[in-house]
Chain A
Amino acid sequence: MSSFLQQCFNGLVSGGFYALLALGLAVIFGMLGVVNFAHGAFFMLGAFGAYIALAEWGVPFWAALFVVPALLFIFGAVLERTLIRRLVPFDPLYNFLLTFGLTLVLQDLVKREYGVQSQPYPRPAELSGSLDLGLFDYPAYQVFVLATAVVLCVAVWLVLTRTRVGMVVRAATERAELTRALGIDVGRWVTPVFAFGVALAGLAGVLAAPMRAVNPLMGADLIIAVFAVVVIGGLGSVFGSVLAGFGIGVAQSLGNLYVPALSQTLIFIIMAVVLLWRPAGLFGREEART
């Protein structure tokens, strides 16, 4: 029983990463209609940012947790202004291809500098121990990651549903033309939303640095799984993406425990079943599919 719960907990932690990345993808897709292939690369940049900051300048984890996403926010804003924006009027597939090209560039730039082997990143001293969660002990860092992911997802959800900014973003997601006709400057929010999604991926990367291998391919491996998560949750549904993120994380961990042979392919099998049953995803709207 305890091992079952522990696997569930592991699943929630890895689901936290899925959820953070899927959340960024969903927000960006909603606002710009762009599926950002480079999201995994931004995740990788976040982890490398933390690693480089520590190795070169001795910036501690806690500072990196704020500085690296802030830098990626700026990077994302510049990227949106200079590249992504130019292709938004055309078929969304062009931006998918553009961000694919960016992924290759970013990945190989990092690979050229640091090689493909994994770089070590120590856990912050404050979180190096383990916590007693009643039934079992659990590494404190993982608890911190899960808590951060949950808090962030809830915060984004609150912003989207309770604030004026969120209202504008949701309205622009549903009917951009009509929102504009009502006198709201939708274009103003496009850059911040994109940059926010990128920063979120970077933050996830920083969080991943102490518990996963920091290497140039870490994002590419993850992003395709996140695509599957987004397809399961329903493209364009923020709520669905987050829920599917945590759910898939747990399912994968339990799969690891009971059917280890399927541990890597389980997520895609779930996706196939969901596609058979609900082609638009669990929480998706039909129109997002075309």
Chain B
Amino acid sequence: MIRMFLRHTEPAGRRSLRYPLLAAGLLLALALPWLIYPPVAMDIACWALFAAAVDLLLGYTGLLSFGHAAFWGSSAYAAGLIAIHSGLPFPVAVLGGAVLAAVLAVPIGYLCVRNSGIYFAMVTLAFAQMVYFVANQWRAVTGGENGLQGIPRELFGLDLSDPFVFYYAGLPIVLLGLWVLWRIVHSPFGHVLVAIRDNSARARAIGYPVERYKLLAFVLSAALSGLAGGLFAISHGFASLQEVNWTTSGKAVMMVVLGGIGTLWGSTLGAALVVQLEDYLSTSGFDGIGIVTGTVFVLVVLLFRQGLWGAARQLGAAADRALRRSRRPPPPPPAGPEPAEPIPTSSTTAR
């Protein structure tokens, strides 16, 4: 049973903030290549979509997938191969990769969703490793350890060689993916997922086919991870074994936890921070990025489980309460401090 995961869905009660936040996020996304090195901006965009897709499973369905590199990576290879061999515009190649990831997710998901919790994490990890070995051995297609090189960026003959320009060509795909995720999370389907996360036995008793819902969430999440992975491969011009390695799965989970489980905004924030940190470390010549990222991750899991976005939201809620209390002199029933690890109850599910 997923007992202790943070329960929040997107704040349904704070609609007043939603659109300003959305506008600010969009502006930031548009301004990003001006603010930082454009290839890094593209990396952030891809990883943000990947992390948000992983969060669809972790935060909204309560399934920790430790094998999403399989979908990110296989789509990277597929998108690369389509772009190399067909000369189609790159969005088509990326879409092709996402379709392959979704197709791959059907059998893997079918086997995985029969389990949950820690078992699910181990099984997804194992299947991802299988994909890794296949990619490693199938040299004729994937290039083995050399990777797949020379992936073109084709879009109706436009010159996209400048990373700054390519960012704006690729950004719509990421935004589309994030929009789809947002729609999923706020749809009735998304609410059923949250119900399954909080109490799968009850969801089953109400009559929802829990396994089928989990499988659909798994496939959707894989497809969106594929979208991100394909774009990542195109933007780098190559796809390597690193893309299907277990560390890639772990990195996506790390971003989600850092940003805050169950918050799509948090995932994008976590992605931005992790990519920036790794970029900073590698450009400053520090050898052993894992020492820093691993330590950060350990600290976050130990001390800061609600993540950045979760913490911000808690602060916001506390400010809200304080404001309300100061407005009404007779104090309302004592609103104790927010419990650090709220235990989800069914009443806190999607409203």
Query: Residues on A close to B: CB < 8 A?
Result: 35, 83, 86-87, 90-94, 96-98, 100-105, 107-109, 111-112, 220, 224-225, 227-228, 230-231, 235, 261, 264-265, 268-269, 271-272, 275-276, 279, 288-290
Name the CB-closest residue of B to A106. Answer: B294
Also in contact, A100 and B297, with CB within 8 A (given A290-B1, A290-B117):
yes
Q: Are B126 and A227 in contact (CB-based, < 8 A)?
A: yes
Also in contact, A108 and B341, with CB within 8 A (given A93-B117, A275-B114):
no
For the residues of A in contact with B, the DSSP-based class is: helix
Also in contact, A228 and B126, with CB within 8 A (given A101-B294, A276-B111):
yes
Also in contact, A35 and B289, with CB within 8 A (given A227-B125, A265-B134):
no
Residues in chain A near residue B122, CB distance under 8 A: 35, 227-228, 230-231, 235
Which of B116, B296, B297 has the most chain A CB within a 10 Å cutoff?
A: B297
Residues in chain A near residue B134, CB distance under 8 A: 265
For the residues of B in contact with A, the DSSP-based class is: helix
Q: Are B294 and A220 in contact (CB-based, < 8 A)?
A: no
Any A CB within 8 A of the CB of B253: yes
A240 to chain B, nearest CB (A): 14
Of B75-83, B267-275, B298-306, which binds chain A?
B298-306
Q: Are A100 and B250 in contact (CB-based, < 8 A)?
A: yes
Query: Residues on B close to A: CB < 8 A?
Result: 1-5, 64, 66, 111, 114-119, 121-123, 125-127, 129-130, 133-134, 136-137, 246-247, 250, 253-254, 257, 287-291, 293-298, 301-302, 305, 341
21 contacts between A and B (CB under 8 A): A91-B117, A96-B118, A96-B121, A97-B254, A97-B297, A98-B302, A100-B297, A101-B293, A101-B294, A104-B294, A105-B295, A109-B288, A227-B126, A231-B122, A265-B130, A265-B133, A268-B126, A269-B130, A275-B111, A276-B111, A290-B1
Residues in chain B near residue A97, CB distance under 8 A: 64, 253-254, 257, 297, 301
Which of A112, A224, A235 has the most chain B CB within a 10 Å cutoff?
A: A224
Residues in chain B near residue A228, CB distance under 8 A: 122, 126, 129
Residues in chain B near residue A220, CB distance under 8 A: 246
A78 to chain B, nearest CB (A): 14
